[in-house]
Structure 1
């Protein structure tokens, strides 16, 4: 079984999915045929949103902090494993992400979640907004790769840059003691969006 299949939402939650649109994975069934967007320069695509002058990592960090009406609704920013895919009505552009780091964003939930594979910085919305959490990542040997006391954003997500090639466990604990954990990988076939971590 491939690792990404371990991150599938529990069947009992299937009817409660779809808080907001996120980006499906590479194995998702295709939607209606469409014309591929025109490739354009990233700076030209970002100019109408006053987002030029940032590299891929800086843009990810900036957009992740936004929520609600602050997010540019006409821009789709999808975090892929090695690049940021930017799409508007004008076309499509990409920005590279750090070669040694992998960005993963988790939306811990208590009652409702949604399916996601590639994190969308401008459309994904999680349940637990502005919630204090402790995020810990341990590798297969039990070594702590990352730990931080932080809080979910206005979008209900908390993002983390991790070393590429990590395989282990992602644990999230809320300030009231609820905990959840899921398998995590940071390889070429792994998701950048984790929406299957239930805290209880």
Structure 2
């Protein structure tokens, strides 16, 4: 099955994640609690030794990797820690700040995809940055469906309010092909997604038209 994933500018974005705030560009191409798809993972990887001090410095101690991702993605504006970088990879969360860097493992049966639908402005992204990425449609109610192509099961079918950063995140089963559809203000966008090891965790190319 052909997998449609966002691969533009991969080499430039693998380390930096999304563009920083204020780094949006004009698009030229035409075109909150976790959902039911994010049921509790079968295993919760432990926090690596030595990471506790860094997590505590940002008020993240005592949280699992899933909880840290959910928390940071919902922050916006001045609430975002200015000196913390948090990049979501398919199998880990890379945190860096105060001269330290740690990788926190993501449960091996879950994949986090953060989606920023747009109408006019977007930016390139591959690995979602929880502390710098911004999307056009912040705090908007959008209707979202995510359908597993192999089984036809609707993994998500609900109205979401986008976070303060313009994204909304989904914990999905790992290793699936699916169809994502978003509707807002009478406009709709649809795209194929994939949740494998080489897939992006950030989707910013879904234009609503």
Task: Tell me if both proteins adopt one fold, taking TM over 0.5 as the criterion.
Answer: yes
Q: Give the drift of 1:45.
A: 1.3
Which one of the candidate residues 50, 58, 69 is aligned to 1:41? 50
- Give the match for residue 15 of structure 2: none
- Give the match for residue 146 of structure 1: 156
- Give the match for residue 170 of structure 1: 180
User: Which residues in structure 2 correspond to 1:49-88 (within 5 Å)?
Assistant: 49-88=58-97
User: Which residues in structure 2 correspond to 1:8-157 (within 5 Å)?
Assistant: 8=8, 20=21, 41-141=50-150, 142-157=152-167
Deviating beyond 4 angstroms after TM superposition, the runs of 4 or more aligned structure 1 residues are 4-9
What is the rounded CA distance, in whole Å, between the counterparts of 2:20 and 2:4 in structure 1?
Answer: 21
Unaligned ranges ≥5, structure 1: 10-16, 23-38
Would the alpha carbon gap of residues 7 and 109 (structure 1) be closer, same or farther in structure 2, given more than 3 Å must change?
farther
**Structure number with higher relative contact order (C-alpha < 8 Å, ≥ 6 residues apart):** 2
Q: Give the drift of 1:21.
A: 7.8
Are the aligned partners of 2:6 and 2:205 in contact in 1 as well (CA < 8 Å)? no
Q: String of CA shifts for 1:46-80, please: whole Å, max 9, x gaps.
A: 22212111010000011111100001111001111
Q: Give the drift of 1:95.
A: 1.2
Q: Give the drift of 1:8.
A: 4.6
- Give the match for residue 169 of structure 2: 159
